[in-house]
Every structure is written in C-alpha cells, then in structure tokens.
Structure 1
Amino acid sequence: MASRQSTPDWLQRILDDSSAPPKLYSWTSANLSKERANQAVPKTQENSPKKPSRDRIHVLGIGNMGRLFASSLAKLPSRPPITLVLHRKALLEQWVSSPGIEITRSGEVQKSTDFDVEWWTDEKPHSGPVIEATSGTGITNLIVATKASDALPLVDRLRRYLDDSSTVAFTQNGMCKMWPPVGDIYTGHRFSKDKGPNWIACITTHGVVSLAPFRSRHASVADVLVGPVSLNAQTGSSSNYLTDQIVNGPDLYGRKVSKSDLWVSQLKKLVVNSVINPLTALLRCRNGDLFLSTDDEVARVIDMLILEASEVLKALIAHSSSAEILEITNVEHKYDPDSQQTNATMDKLHDQFSFDNLRKMVYDVGHKVRENTSSMLQDVRAGKPTEIRDFNGWLVETGELLNEGLDLPSHKRLIGMVENGLTLSREELGDRFGITDGQTP
C-alpha cells in the first residue's frame, strides 16, 4: 500500500513536499494592542515566557472537544500545566476580553480560567516579546482537538517541535491517519530515523454542543477510549503519562484499551458516523428522527450505507496491512494468513462487521443519542465545512485502495448531497437513492 497508485491523496501531497517546517511564534496578550493587552487576564497569562515542563499538555483546537478535554484535565488533583493553542488572532483577543472555558452540565455552568493561552503563527509579533513557540524546547504532550480534516495538516505544521520525546493524542471522529501502514510512511518521511513521536488516539462518545467561543454544553455524558496507534520503539512507554492524564480526567470517564481494540472501536464508530451525521445533515433532524421506522425510505437508505460499509471493513481486516494492528503475526513477526490465531481473529471480526451486527449497533447507538444534534448538522447550520470526507470519504477511499472492484455508490452519492448543501424530506431522500414504492434498488 506504499506505491503512488495506492497512496492516499493527503499522504502523497506530503511525500511530494520537502520543505522545512516553519518556525512559529507564540503570541500572548502582551503581543496585542495596548488597549487589548491592558485588559484583565488570569495570572497564568502573565507576559513572561513559560518555564519548560515535561508535564505540560498543549491542547490544539479549542472547539467542543478541546474545551471538554482542557476543562477536565484542569480538575486533576495534581494538575499539569496546560497551554491552549489557538489558530486565530481573533480568538486570543476574545479570550483576553472574556477569559475562561465554560462547560454547562445539568444546567450548572462550570468555568475554568487557569490556562496559558497562545496563538501560534509564523507571523512575528509587531510589539511585545518575541518568543518562539514552546520557547523552542519542543512539545512533550499534545492533544489534537481540531476537526478531522485539520488535524494532520496542523500537526504536520508543528513537526519542528515534535520528536521521539513527544506524545500526540488525536481526538477526532473518523479514522486516525497514523494507523499503519500509511502512518508509518508519514513518520518515516517527516522525521529522521527513530525520532518519530508516539501517536495515540481517543474515541469520544460524549455529546457536546457549542454555545459560543469557549462555551459548550455537555449534552450527554459517555466515555473516552484511549490507546496506542503507533509508538516509537525506544520511547513508547513515555506515552503512558498523557494516556493516564486522559484516563484520570474528571468528566472524561476515560478507559485505556489495546491497539487492536482501539482500531476496531474506531471502525465501528466510523460506521455510525457515516450514517447518522450525513443523514441528519440532509434531513435537518435530531439523531433519533432517523430511526422512527425500520421500514421507510430512511431505513432503506441506512441499510444501503451499512451494507457497503460492511464490505469495506471485511476486506480491510483480511488485508495483510492489518496484521500488525491486530497483532496476528507469528514468532518471526510475519503475517501467517493460515494460522489458527489468524483464523480465530478473522472469524470474530467478520461476525462483528457483518451487516446484521453493524445494523444493530447503528440502531442501538441511534437510540442512545436520539436527543442529540449531530456534529455535522451543527457544522451545516453554522456554515462550516463538514467532516464527511473523513467519514464516508474514508470508506470510499479505503474501498478503492483495497479492491478496485469495491465500489460504494451510496456513500459517494451521499457525499455529493452533503457537499452541495441539500436539504431534503424523507421522501426526497428516498427518491435520490432510487427507492420507489418501498422498494430498494
């Protein structure tokens, strides 16, 4: 899967790029206009450079997930120093005007202010202290809480500050791009030998709704799974620090899982997201409204999407590239497709990824989150780009990479509808998928 023909577009663009990573500057309140800088800010936003700390956690992206993780980690009994890394100057100005993360739970507003807050940019400050990001010492612990489409481009931009002492945790919906084999190709291209970071990922099932910048409502409490994606052979154990902080974070309800369990769980959640998110975005409805019937137009479209997803997942687990993730190699660390362990693992996963079991899972999750508004519908209403290319697009891309004959027409059609900004009724949705008189094509 490393040839140009079988390399995902996002990876090929990086492989074709040999430019040096940018030097970034850390802007704080001291670098804003005098009027802004003089406004009251928490004591942690003093103008002096922060002392380097191996325990410091940087949170990149301060949307719903960033707020949830940062505010939870701030409640730890032995609280680590936390830096919120913003992507726009306007957000830094907003923070200075009204500092704090607010999370509303059961009608109660909980506010956290004890953070270092910085805007990282390649633009040198025009006034105030000129300080390189992390004072040039590098990032030890990074939580990437951006949208899925932004995650890797932003991490790639920070690679100057990452090395084998770094642990990077991805919190996005969709599949983490650092899974082998493509993640290993990326790491080998961007980092010198044995200097790649430790990549871990989180699967978050909490329901969080944005109220305003730095303000969210914790709509439904669930949990976070966290585990390794690809660890540095020499420094992998250092990832335990960030993993443990996330697991112990109040309000996160974290649980540590193995690499294979994390991978399988991400695949399952991807199927759920590829159904619920785009359909609620098209129908402009709550999650639960998709499941009012098991035999109408929407139910038939759901079945079409799940059937195609099932075919991709079954092809994926049978591919030799999945052996490392599933840890089904022999004593010589080679993939043996005929071993007893391989057959047992494959039989179990084929059952989990069957149409019937995936369908039951989607309906079960749909019932649990029936009162929630999907993240994609929130994005559509806010006029923001959606993550459909990281959900349905990933399935289409993976199907094409694994098997030239593995086509996903329903998912392709759905991508086009969402990206064209359509709003449909249930009947119109059925018509778009060729469902007439209750008959599936």
Structure 2
Amino acid sequence: MRLGIRMPRVACRTPIGFLEWNLRSKGSTCRRVLHMTSQRASGNSQQVPATWLRRVLEDDHKPPKLYAWTPDSISSGAARLKKTAGANSGDDERRRIHILGIGNMGRLYATCLAKLANRPPIALVVHRKELLEHWVSQPGIEFTRHGKVGKNTDFDIEWWTDEQPTQGPVTEPASGRGISNLVVATKASDAIPQVDRLRGYLDSNSTVAFTQNGMCKLWPPFGEQYVRARFPGATSPSWIACVTTHGVISLGPFRSIHASPADAWVGSVMMPKPKPENNTAGEGPSYLIEQIANAPDLAARRVSMKELWVAQLEKLVVNAVINPLTAVLDCKNGELFVERGDGLSEVIDRLLDEASRTLRALVRDPANDEIFAEPATKDRDGYALEHVARRLAQAHEELDRRFALPRLREMLLGVAAKVTENTSSMLQDVRAGKQTEINDFNGWLVETARYLDGDIRLPTHERLIALVKARTTLTREEICERLLA
C-alpha cells in the first residue's frame, strides 16, 4: 500500500454519516465526489470485522433481564447504611451517574465526581456479590492523595445480575426506567460485553462514557456497525470516551493511592445523529461530559472528536511498546530505553514503524472523515463542501506527519522519561496472574491493519503478542533474537 497523501475524500460508508447527509443536497459536484469515493471504497481490502464485533453480531439472544442487588439484598444489618436510591426525584434520577467497575479508574472518577459543588447522585456498580458484601462490612471508598487519606461513604452501591434477590427490594437497574448516565470503568476487554449486556436499559436518552486504556471500540470503522446491529433506528445512546493519564495504585477493594495526578480528556466518539420528533432526550452527551470536565482533581477538559481520537491513538502506541516489552522482560519501564548494544532499540523502532504504517493508513480510511470534518463552518445552505474538503486534506497531511516513525519515537521517549521508575500495568497483571490487555493494545493494531489493507503486516507485534500470551520471560538478548528474526 502506498503511504503518500491521497486527495481528500468524502465518506459514504455510514448510512446517515456526517458528510453523506450533506452531500445529498449538493448537486452534480457532489455526485462526482461520491463516484470517486465509491471507486476508492470498492478497491479497499476485504474489510474483515473485528473479533469482538463478529462475536456480538453472531449473538442473537435478547438482552437479559437484570436485578439490582443492594446492601438490603444480602444483609438485614445493611439498614445502618445511608440510603438515597429510592428517595430521589425524577430529576435526580436523570442526573444520576452509574459507575460500572470500581477498580482504580472507577474509584478515581467516583471520588472526583463526588466533589462537584452540585454533585449528582452516584451509584457504584460492582461485578461480584463479594464486593457488595465487603461494602456492607466496610463501607466507603478510601482514596489517598498527596499523602492525605480521604474516605467517602456517600454513594449508592449495587450489583447487577440475572439472579433475583431473595430478600430486600426486587428492582431492575435504574428501576427499569433506563440508565441516563453510565461510566464504564471496567477492563478494556470487558467494556463492550458489559454494555451489550445492559443494552435493554440503554436508549437515546442514555449517555455512555468509556474510561479504558486502548482505543474505544466504537470509533469508526466498527462503531456504526455495532450501533446499527444493537440500536436500530434512532435508539442509540450517546457515546463518549475519556483519555486518562492519572496514575492510580490499588491497595485492595475500594482503596487506592492517587500516585501520579495528571489530567484527562473527554469527548464524543460519534457525531450526533438526528432524533425522532417525539424524542424526549435533553442535553444528550453534554450533561455527562460537563460533569466529568468540571470534576475537581480530575483536571479533565472537553475536546473535539479529532483531538480525542489522536490522543487515544498516541496513548495506544505508547502502551503497545512499553507494556508488553516490560511484561516479557520483567523490568521497570526505564530499562527499555537504556542502550546496551543488544538490539532492543531496533525492536522498539520496528514496533513503532509497524504502528506508524497502520495509523497512517487509518487516517486515510474514508470511515474516519467525519472525525476530521468536525466541527465545520456552516454557510447558508449548511456545511460548505469545499470547506470540508480543505479540512480533510489538512487533517490527512497533519496526521501523516504526526504518525510518522520519527514523530512517534519522539513522543514515546518523552513519555518514557516521565515513567522511568514505574512498573507497567501489564507487568503488574502478569505478576498477579491476571488477564492482560495485550489484545486491546497490540491486538487492536493487528486487527486494524488487517481490516484496512491486506498488504500491511505487523510481524513484530504478532510475535510479541504470542510471547505475552504464553507468559514468557526473556532476557534482552533473547527477546531481540525472537523479535528481530
């Protein structure tokens, strides 16, 4: 595949995509552009669906009915805990934020959102009954920041399961009325399966935020396919994502240290789609985005789709190099960048080069055009086609330079200098015998390359994935021999 800059194109892959909608009313010029686009699309690769999407599309079961277990469901002694869930007004329920997954990211977001001046009701959603029991005996999130230990018990807490409770209230999530605001703070591999499980409680009045490492799976090219399959018509929630650079260390259930305060970015991952005339949705994603952006100590800011997309891609490249190499070498991050004349720097360059070729091809995929065209300037007839074309050309040229090997190397070294003494999350997972996020980092790159162009090969990433999955530990010389073969 040629990696030069292509002429700007207009996306028409999605049925109601941003540019396609605008082109329908632009006359013969647009028909010519659409013809050029269809020629480009027909010459594309086999468009292999991602593994996660294929699994979703093959599952034709109806969404399950779930029950919301509370402390009352497991212990009569839970009566001493503060209850708020049943006493809130309808407005409070629309403001309520459910946080699914109470690991480090879930605790960080819950703690920061709870500090808002006009804080919304917050419900923690755990994934095991044992965690609900733990909360009953030791309620509260303990969060240590700058050496000061803080504890907050002012949360509702629930466990969502298909098993009906034998005592206490028998209710569904959000009382069966639909979840208004959901922050998904699970591991990356669990995010879409959990959302898919909850789809019966999500609709066009819902906003779902993802906080995972790696790329949000609902970005183009696969997001639209998932939404069309699971939320037909105009029933889809609004989808947003966060890029979080804070460092948080777990001390056990509901206990964390805010080891490296940093910042976060938040924004939409899909263009807003037209709603039916009888839709009652209020602010769409704006409410949850603003709550996250204003949360004290989170240092988050709202960004455009393009800024968020680029930030997630750059963070993914860093994770796809540092995490698996440290996991196989069993070393701190800084060891990777010490020159010992054994070829490890060449391994890093190969990983970066393969990532660079994939990202530069991704930039030129028509499915992503709506990301680069947002926001566009309007004329009296709507979005000016010429203006959109210029924005696309500028974005392609800018990102082709930004994702080139020298720039990615410079970015990686800049991040590495700040995390030299840190132990990567993947190495921590390996040491703890937990599942790693290798599929969501390096695996994402491999699947994306396969989707975009059958000629793009990522052999270094593929070998590294195999080493991590086999829980292999090697010396620097051994890993170089394996990966440079």
TM-score with structure 2 setting the length: 0.84
| CA distance in 2: counterparts of 1:334 and 1:414, whole angstroms | 46
Cross-structure match for 2:17: none
Cross-structure match for 2:110: 70
Q: 1:30 touches 1:37 (CA, 8 Å); kept in 2?
A: yes
Matched, 1:14 2:60: no
Cross-structure match for 1:89: 129
CA RMSD for the aligned pairs?
2.4
Cross-structure match for 2:303: 257
| Superposed displacement of residue 41, structure 1 | 5.0
Match of 1:287 among 309, 321, 333: 333
Equivalent position SS for 1:238: coil
Cα 1:45–1:375 shift into 2, 3 Å: farther
Q: Which runs of 4+ in 1 moved over 4 A?
A: 1-5, 48-52, 328-339
Equivalent position SS for 1:186: helix
Percent identical: 55
Cα 1:378–1:18 shift into 2, 3 Å: same
| CA distance in 2: counterparts of 1:319 and 1:287, whole angstroms | 33
| Superposed displacement of residue 218, structure 1 | 1.1
| CA distance in 2: counterparts of 1:237 and 1:141, whole angstroms | 12
| CA distance in 2: counterparts of 1:327 and 1:184, whole angstroms | 17
Structure 1: which amino acid aligns with 2:178? G
| Superposed displacement of residue 371, structure 1 | 2.5
Which residues of 2 match residues 239-318 of structure 1 at below 5 A?
239-293=285-339, 296-318=342-364
| Superposed displacement of residue 115, structure 1 | 0.4
Cα 1:192–1:341 shift into 2, 3 Å: closer
| CA distance in 2: counterparts of 1:39 and 1:315, whole angstroms | 55
Match of 2:475 among 413, 416, 425: 425
Cross-structure match for 2:229: 189
| CA distance in 2: counterparts of 1:185 and 1:302, whole angstroms | 34
Deviates more, 1:296-305 or 1:68-77: 296-305
Deviates more, 1:149-158 or 1:4-13: 4-13
Cα 1:338–1:385 shift into 2, 3 Å: same
| 1:230-278 alpha-carbon deviations (Å, 9 max, x no partner) | 1343359421110011111111100110011111111111101101111
Cross-structure match for 2:219: 179
Which residues of 2 match residues 73-222 of structure 1 at below 5 A?
73-222=113-262
Cα 1:267–1:337 shift into 2, 3 Å: farther
Equivalent position SS for 1:372: coil
Structure 2: which amino acid aligns with 1:206? H
Cα 1:171–1:335 shift into 2, 3 Å: farther
| CA distance in 2: counterparts of 1:67 and 1:102, whole angstroms | 9
| CA distance in 1: counterparts of 2:79 and 2:460, whole angstroms | 53
Cross-structure match for 2:38: none
| CA distance in 2: counterparts of 1:4 and 1:236, whole angstroms | 40
Cα 1:316–1:266 shift into 2, 3 Å: same
Cross-structure match for 1:402: 452
Cα 1:23–1:51 shift into 2, 3 Å: farther
| CA distance in 1: counterparts of 2:400 and 2:100, whole angstroms | 36
| CA distance in 2: counterparts of 1:16 and 1:276, whole angstroms | 34
Task: Say which structure, 1 or 2, has more relative contact order (CA 8 Å, 6+ apart).
Answer: 2
Cα 1:285–1:106 shift into 2, 3 Å: farther
| CA distance in 2: counterparts of 1:403 and 1:360, whole angstroms | 27
Deviates more, 1:280-289 or 1:193-202: 280-289
Cα 1:201–1:15 shift into 2, 3 Å: same
Q: 1:57 touches 1:82 (CA, 8 Å); kept in 2?
A: yes
Q: 1:280 touches 1:374 (CA, 8 Å); kept in 2?
A: yes
| CA distance in 1: counterparts of 2:454 and 2:243, whole angstroms | 30
| Superposed displacement of residue 49, structure 1 | 7.0
Cross-structure match for 2:69: 27
Structure 2: which amino acid aligns with 1:113? T
TM-score with structure 1 setting the length: 0.92
| CA distance in 2: counterparts of 1:383 and 1:37, whole angstroms | 36
| Superposed displacement of residue 161, structure 1 | 0.8
| 1:5-36 alpha-carbon deviations (Å, 9 max, x no partner) | 5221211222222221111101111111xxx4
Unaligned runs of 5+ in 1: 435-440
| Superposed displacement of residue 342, structure 1 | 2.8
Structure 1: which amino acid aligns with 2:67? Y
* Count of residue pairs brought into register by the alignment: 431
| CA distance in 1: counterparts of 2:99 and 2:157, whole angstroms | 10
